């Protein structure tokens, strides 16, 4: 149970890092959502790898093999994230006027990012646990 709690604490920190990067660069500075989304996920991903390897899983697996698995899971999870992001960004662009209470302060791209982030968290959690940080020690 402690292992699961640590994983989720790291995940919360990763999510906050990602949301902060996207929030600052897209929401505040008006940078385009796709490059900012990638930058946010890379920042969260680096944090995720280091904390999961050192603190949570205490992995002693070979670095190169583990990093390659991590990169593969990251790319797959991120690819799915982008598809979800683009879908909801387009949907929200066409219907954002219906969200008038939120629409006045939250950009459609940032709202789409939040939904895509939830999808990313679920997929990456399952794959990191089963594929990347499996215990081979």
Give the model confidence (pLDDT) of 80-98 as tens digits.
Answer: 999 999 999 999 888 876 7
Q: Is the pLDDT of residue 136 over 60?
A: no
Domain-embedded: residue 137: no
Rounded Cα gap, residues 113 and 37, in angstroms: 7
In this structure, is residue 99 part of a structural domain?
Answer: yes
Please indicate, yes or no, if residue 81 is contained in any of the structural domains: yes
Which residue range(s) make up the domain with 32?
2-132
Instruction: Report if residue 36 sits inside a domain.
Output: yes
Q: Percentage of the chain with pLDDT > 70?
A: 93
Strand segments, DSSP code E, in 1-137 are: none
Q: What is the pLDDT of residues 16-61, one digit of tens each?
A: 999 999 999 999 999 999 999 999 999 999 999 999 999 988 888 8
Is 29 a member of any domain?
yes
CB-count burial class (<10 Å; 0-12, 13-18, 19+) for 130: exposed
Average pLDDT, the chain: 89
Count of the separate structural domains present in the chain:
1
Residue 51 inside a domain? The answer is: yes
Q: Has residue 96 been placed in a domain?
A: yes
What value does the mean pLDDT take over residues 58-87?
94
| Structure token digits, residue 15 | 């999510």
pLDDT of residue 99: 64
pLDDT at 20: 96
pTM summary value: 0.79
The stretch 55-69 carries a mean pLDDT of 91
- pLDDT score of 3 more than 60: yes
């Amino acid at each position: 149970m402690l292992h699961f709690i640590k994983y989720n604490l790291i995940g919360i920190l990763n999510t906050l890092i990602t949301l902060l990067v996207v929030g600052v660069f897209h929401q505040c500075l008006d940078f385009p959502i796709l490059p900012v989304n990638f930058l946010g996920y890379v920042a969260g991903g680096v944090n995720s790898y280091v904390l999961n390897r050192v603190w949570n899983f205490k992995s002693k697996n070979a670095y190169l093999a583990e990093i390659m698995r991590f990169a593969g899971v990251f790319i797959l999870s991120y690819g799915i994230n982008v598809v979800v992001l683009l879908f909801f960004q387009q949907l929200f662009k066409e219907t954002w006027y219906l969200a008038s209470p939120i629409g006045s302060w939250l950009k459609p791209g940032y709202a789409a990012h939040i939904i895509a982030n939830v999808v990313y968290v679920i997929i990456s959690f399952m794959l990191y646990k089963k594929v990347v940080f499996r215990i081979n020690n």
